[in-house]
């Protein structure tokens, strides 16, 4: 169903996305060329997604090994002034292929089809977290699967910007939080390590997990598992090319960019892109630490309630949107998915999550090209703060009453969750 939705949307656009920053490194890794893989990482991303897909590229190379694919979408308006010849040469329309000039394969015969793995990881992680919250099985899981299919940001991350690593990062983070609720700290650390290898913003979910751990032994296992997996994943690339690896991991590396105004609060600042990115990456971490510290100090016992913990994770992930430097649809993925999980963990219809998802995807995005930049920035900020408020309110909200939970819903749950049941 996920691939069908991507197909209906025309498939991933290979010319206006970050696709080749993922697929070219995966090809290089499949050939054992770690240095080339880091040099081809054109955007500051960790190596997790290429590492996870490289074995499949190696095994299925004749079928889906191509790092590039053709595209039959109309010529983008931004490229029409350059002429059709430029478009055909760079983006290689499928319709222009001939036996003499076969060009690139269609997207579902290339590495683009492997992006479905990102959605599978997201789905499994979300289901695990729902189960750890005591709401797994039955209608809740069915609604969650359907909601994650309908969530526009999931297919936006593939069809528009090609960021399946974001899907994986959210999925691994959700699975790690599920293990944290079940007090399996080493497993949670391993999963957080995988999440961080896919995308750096997983650190925003890792911070609340530290507060959830009951003692220093649990926190040590959590940190050790995360650090071990992260180090093992990064070390081969760092040894091959320390400079390129450092740039990729920094999440702030830009080359040759001056002052660019974008419709967010940080994006409208009249400073260089590097300084904006430093603010956009560091300030959410500071805010997440402050929020988590206050929650741990004032409502430490409440964090053991699954819904309260999911709410805290939601608030910390929403901090990223508060300070985001630009506006892309896939940025709504993590917060939208956590809002769905929070509503379903409370066993209530996810109308609140649906309202936020629709308002951001079709309201804020609609404002972008039609309203002044400051109006769009305020709307984006309001959406981010609204999600933070929803998450923080879950910290002190009364626990939901459950009449007769299934055995599966409480198996392995935390003492607090089992007590509620």
pLDDT at res. 98: 65
pLDDT along the chain (421 residues), means of 10: 90 77 93 92 89 95 89 64 57 68 84 94 96 88 93 92 94 97 96 96 96 92 96 94 88 60 85 84 95 88 88 95 90 95 90 94 87 91 95 76 40 39 34
Q: What is the DSSP letter of 350?
A: T
Domain residue spans in the chain? 2-95+104-114, 115-250+263-396+405-420
**pTM reported for the whole predicted model:** 0.88
Cα–Cα separations (whole angstroms), residue 65 to 59, 70, 386: 9, 14, 43
pLDDT at res. 414: 41
pLDDT at res. 370: 86
Task: Measure CA 385 to chain center.
Answer: 19
pLDDT at res. 171: 97
Cα–Cα distance between 272 and 255 in angstroms, integer? 11
- CA-wise closest residue to 310 among 126, 143, 149: 126
Cα–Cα distance between 399 and 83 in angstroms, integer? 61
pLDDT at res. 100: 63
Q: Is there a contact between 265 and 257 (Cβ–Cβ < 8 Å)?
A: no
Helix ranges (DSSP H) in 251-406: 273-298, 306-322, 333-345, 351-358, 365-367, 373-396
pLDDT at res. 86: 55
The tokens describing 80, both together, are 């029409």
DSSP labels, 310-344: HHHHHHHHHHHHHT-SS--GGGGHHHHHHHHHHHH
Task: Measure CA 273 to chain center.
Answer: 22
What does residue 271 show for φ and ψ, rounded to 5 degrees? -125, 170
């Amino acid at each position: 169903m996920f691939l069908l939705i991507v197909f209906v949307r025309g498939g991933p656009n290979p010319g206006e996305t970050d696709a080749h920053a993922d697929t070219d490194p995966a090809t290089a890794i499949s050939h054992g060329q770690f240095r080339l893989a880091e040099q081809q990482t054109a955007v500051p991303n960790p190596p997790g997604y290429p590492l996870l897909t490289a074995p499949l590229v190696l095994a299925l190379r004749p079928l889906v090994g191509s790092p590039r694919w053709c595209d039959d979408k109309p010529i983008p308006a931004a490229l029409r002034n350059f002429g059709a010849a430029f478009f055909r040469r760079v983006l290689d329309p499928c319709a222009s292929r001939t036996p003499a000039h076969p060009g690139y394969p269609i997207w579902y015969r290339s590495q683009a089809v492997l992006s479905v793995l990102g959605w599978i990881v997201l789905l499994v992680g979300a289901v695990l977290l729902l189960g750890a919250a005591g709401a797994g099985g039955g209608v809740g899981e069915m609604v969650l699967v359907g909601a994650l299919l309908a969530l526009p940001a999931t297919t936006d991350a593939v069809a528009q910007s090609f960021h399946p690593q974001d899907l994986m990062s959210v999925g691994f983070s959700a699975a790690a939080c599920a293990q944290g609720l079940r007090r399996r700290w080493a497993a949670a650390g391993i999963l957080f390590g995988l999440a961080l290898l896919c995308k750096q913003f997983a650190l925003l979910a890792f911070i609340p997990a530290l507060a959830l751990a009951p003692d220093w032994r649990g926190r040590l296992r959590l940190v050790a598992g995360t650090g071990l997996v992260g180090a093992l994943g990064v070390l081969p690339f760092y040894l091959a090319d320390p400079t390129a690896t450092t740039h990729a991991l920094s999440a702030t590396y830009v080359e040759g960019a001056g002052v660019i105004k974008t419709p967010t609060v940080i994006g409208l600042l009249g400073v260089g892109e590097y300084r904006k990115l430093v603010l956009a990456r560091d300030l959410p971490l500071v805010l997440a630490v402050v929020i988590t510290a206050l929650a741990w100090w004032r409502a430490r016992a409440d964090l053991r309630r699954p819904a309260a913990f999911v709410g805290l994770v939601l608030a910390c992930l929403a901090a990223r949107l508060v300070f985001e430097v630009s506006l892309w649809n896939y940025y709504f993925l993590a917060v939208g998915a956590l809002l769905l999980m929070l509503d379903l963990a409370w066993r209530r219809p996810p109308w609140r999550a649906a309202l936020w998802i629709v308002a951001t995807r079709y309201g804020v995005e609609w404002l972008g090209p039609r309203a002044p930049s400051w109006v769009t920035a305020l709307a984006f900020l309001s959406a981010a703060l609204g999600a933070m408020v929803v998450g923080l309110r879950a910290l002190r909200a009364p626990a939901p009453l459950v009449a007769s939970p299934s055995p599966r819903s409480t198996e392995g749950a935390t003492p607090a969750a089992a007590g509620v049941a």
